[in-house]
Every structure is written in C-alpha cells, then in structure tokens.
Amino acid sequence: MRAEATRLLDLEADLRRAILADAFEPWFQPIVDLATGAVVGHEALLRWNHDLQGPLPPAEFIGVGEDSGLIEQVDWLVYRRAFEWMTRHREGYVSINVSPRHFHSENFADRLLQMLDDSGAEPSRLRIEITEVALLDDAPRALRMLRTLRERGIYALLDDFGTGFSALSYLHRFPIHALKIDQSFVAGLGDDLHPESLALVRAILALAGTLGIDTIGEGVETEAQAAILRQLGCTMGQGFLFGRPMPAPAADRRGVA
Ligand code: C2E
Ligand code: MG
Ligand code: MG
C-alpha cells in the first residue's frame, strides 16, 4: 500500500511538471460513415509525451489526473492543440473528450468558445464527448453549458453509452446529438457473437433512431462487426478497422521534440 501511495504521489508530481512543459498532445482517430466508408471526423485522444516512457495513453495517468484535478489543465493543453490541427485540416469534425470535472466550473463553455475564437477554428466543426457522470451532478448547470455550446454549433456526443446508468431521460432532457456505443458491446458482435451484446446494441439503435439521435459504434476491429452495426442501422463507426489513433504529422506539431 505504501509503495502504491508513493507511486501515485510521484505520478502526480510528474504530471505537474509535464503540464508546465506542455508535454501533452492529441492523437487523431478517424470516424467513418458506415454506409460509404467516408471519413466524417476525428476524435482527439490525449497522449502524454513522457520523457522516459512516452507516449503514454490516458489509462496510465487519468485516474491521478481526475483525483488531483490536474486533468482539467491537461485537457486545456490538448484542446488548444486540437484546435490548431482543425485550422490545418479543413475537412470533417473533431471531437474532444471533456472530463466530468469541467462540468463543475461555471465558465467552461465560455472559456472553450474563447479559445476556439482565438485559434480561428470553426465552432461548428467541433464536437464534445461527455459521459453521463457529467450530467448527473448538477443537471441545470450541465444543461446551461450544453445549450451555450449548442447555440454556437457545437454538438455533444454521449461517450461510452451503455456502460453507465444509460438513463433514457438524459437523451430527452439534454441536447445530445449522437451516442457512442461502448466498445465492450461492439466486441460482442463479430464472429464471436454474444446474444446479449446484440440485443443491447439493437435496443440502443432502435431508441436512438426513434429520438433522431445519431450513433457511432466504438472499437470496431473487424469487418463482421462493421457489417452487423450497418445492418442494425448504426450510422458511423470508429475503431482499428478504419484507422488507429495517430499523431499529427511532425510539421503540424508544436513544441514536440
Ligand atoms: P474513449 O473516449 O471512449 O476513447 C476510445 C478509446 O478506445 C481510445 O483509447 C482509443 O484509442 C481506443 N480504441 C479506438 N479504437 C479501438 C479498437 O478498435 N479497439 C480497441 N481495443 N480500442 C480502440 P485511449 O486513447 O487510450 O483513451 C482512453 C480514454 O481516455 C478515452 O476513452 C477517454 O475517456 C479518455 N480520454 C482520451 N483523451 C482524453 C482527453 O483529451 N481528455 C480527457 N479528459 N479524457 C480523455
Ligand atoms: Mg471519447
Ligand atoms: Mg468511448
């Protein structure tokens, strides 16, 4: 326990140094239209360019980042880079992941819009990925925030759908443009078919279809999974089958050695 506590403290100190050094960047993974295969957008996925171990995926440090609150600062560094990328890549949208912690701060939407304006990126090409936890805490504030962003053309996507409470009332109460069906269900679709996954995905797609909400299947790794999603009416897909998260080309990266 003591060793683990020390490790976490070291990691937190390391994270603070990395924030000062601006050592984070987004990698981009394509999101495709399942009917045509066309790339419609990219998700920006955080990587830490750690001196010794980097690039590190979020699983290695996001827990400490969330607990210490440092994730908010990391997110802002990543968003700035993602917006810069948008000004160079003029096609499709970019979705950024928003930590539920940002929903505790009243000025998140204004700060995001200001940063977007400063970068020159088009707000209607930005999407935010949020999780249900973000909506739970202070629903009126979350609603204000999502509405402010929506007024400027920024759609909200509900990430990891199906893993949380998946309360249907959210879909109705909040301006949600699309659901991202969690990869754990998509994994149960292909050749190794799990009937529960199929039933769940079918139900999610029926619900989304009725409400006029778009759907993105996450973690699509095989043709078989893509085919089932397409058949069931899922409109978009994301996963290794279509492309892995990749760093921006070197010419586009600022301050990354
Ligand atoms: P997420 O938003 O659900 O992102 C999808 C994750 O699935 C990514 O992991 C991606 O690399 C991975 N993935 C994509 N396609 C496949 C596939 O076909 N198979 C498998 N097995 N995995 C696939 P990643 O990049 O490690 O990110 C993990 C999580 O960290 C994200 O889950 C998101 O919740 C969080 N995250 C990522 N970027 C940020 C960020 O900038 N800020 C915050 N606060 N959280 C972030
Ligand atoms: Mg996401
Ligand atoms: Mg997800």
Nearest CA to ligand 1 atom 12: 219
Q: How far is CA 222 from CA 29, 118, 226, in A?
A: 16, 40, 6
Q: How far apart are CA 128 and CA 150, in angstroms?
A: 10
Predicted TM-score (pTM) of the model is 0.96
Q: Give the CATH number, domain containing residue 72.
A: 3.20.20.450
| Strand bridging mode 178-181 / 214-217 | parallel
Domain extent for 161 = 2-252
What average pLDDT does the structure give for the chain? 93
Contact status, residue 78 vs residue 45, Cβ threshold 8 Å: no
Pick 213 or 172 by higher pLDDT. Answer: 213
Mean pLDDT of 227-243: 97
Q: How far apart are CA 241 and CA 220, in angstroms?
A: 6
Residue-wise pLDDT for 32-90, tens only, equals 999 999 999 999 999 999 999 989 999 999 999 999 999 999 999 999 999 999 999 88
Structural domain count, the chain: 1
pLDDT of residue 5 exceeding 70 = yes
Asked if the structure places residue 52 within a domain, the reply is yes
Asked if the structure places residue 257 within a domain, the reply is no
Residues with CB under 6 Å of ligand 1 are 29, 45-46, 57-59, 62, 71, 75, 78, 97, 99, 129, 159-160, 183, 218-221, 239-240, 245
Percent of the chain residues topping a pLDDT of 90: 84
Query: Which pLDDT belongs to residue 90?
Result: 81
Asked if the structure places residue 79 within a domain, the reply is yes
